[in-house]
A and B are shown apart, each in its own frame.
Chain A
Amino acid sequence: MSFFSVQGLTKRFGGLTALDDVSFEVEKGSIFSVIGPNGSGKSTAFNCINGIYKPTAGSIHFQGNKISGLSPSRIARMGLARTFQNIELFASETTVDNLMLGRHQHMSTGLWRGMAMLGRRTWAAREEIENREHVEQVLETLELEAVRNRPVSELPYGTQKRVELGRALAMEPLLLLVDEPTAGMNPEERADIGERLRKLRDDLGLTILLIEHHMQLAIGLADRVLALNFGRPIALGPPDEVQSHPEVVKAYLGDG
């Protein structure tokens, strides 16, 4: 049984088939890139995987469990985290509070214990401190300490993208889905994010599904690549093979 697998995934919106019979497998500790022109169904695939959309057909398995049909929060609690193409941060909260939300499932303080946080030794306080330490580590790896207590809505776009990545990492996921992490970034920032993703795989053994518009980055990082066009898989395999696949070349030339 593979670490993560998708079989015959299909998603229709009314008459539009956004995903058409897509299948692939992802090995633990690898980076798997999904490429394709605009509107080819990449984000739709992510939305099906983390449960925001119910697939029209097909199934998704994670660590031997079927996750298709479960709610996003159930899927998250199984160790799957993601970022969004259009940033979905908790806008009025600070960077720290956004990342603390990533710790939600690792914490257990409820109503009563929360209200009764009356000293450093109470349950809620101990849990806050422990999880803040974890969050601080993530802030340090992503160099976000300087904006720790700033409301995220005040941060520049590139920093918000990093906060979103940080929030996903704070969840300590087994599988991380990142949807266009470098959109709107300059080449320098883009290379920086690429390097961070590579490190996450190499140092932490994290498994990453990556949607990335910049071919070079997507291909350069990936262990395997899936190319979509109009929702259909047109190529699947090692990066160099997919890159030179005639259908892929055609799709990208047609895309301009």
Chain B
Amino acid sequence: DSERSAQPPAERPGERRRAEMKILYGEDASKILGMETAMQLTFDRNCDRKQPKYWPVIPLKL
């Protein structure tokens, strides 16, 4: 069975984000993309390792 998918033709991962960043930041897009990616990686890694729970459980501001 072949998979039905609405996927566009294969996009390199992160290409859309890269394009969006280029519009937002122009020349400095790759530098900022690098900083943001590093930060997100740290965040994800810390969350994986430490398994933090939200505090407070119920949001203060809805």
Say if A and B assemble together: no
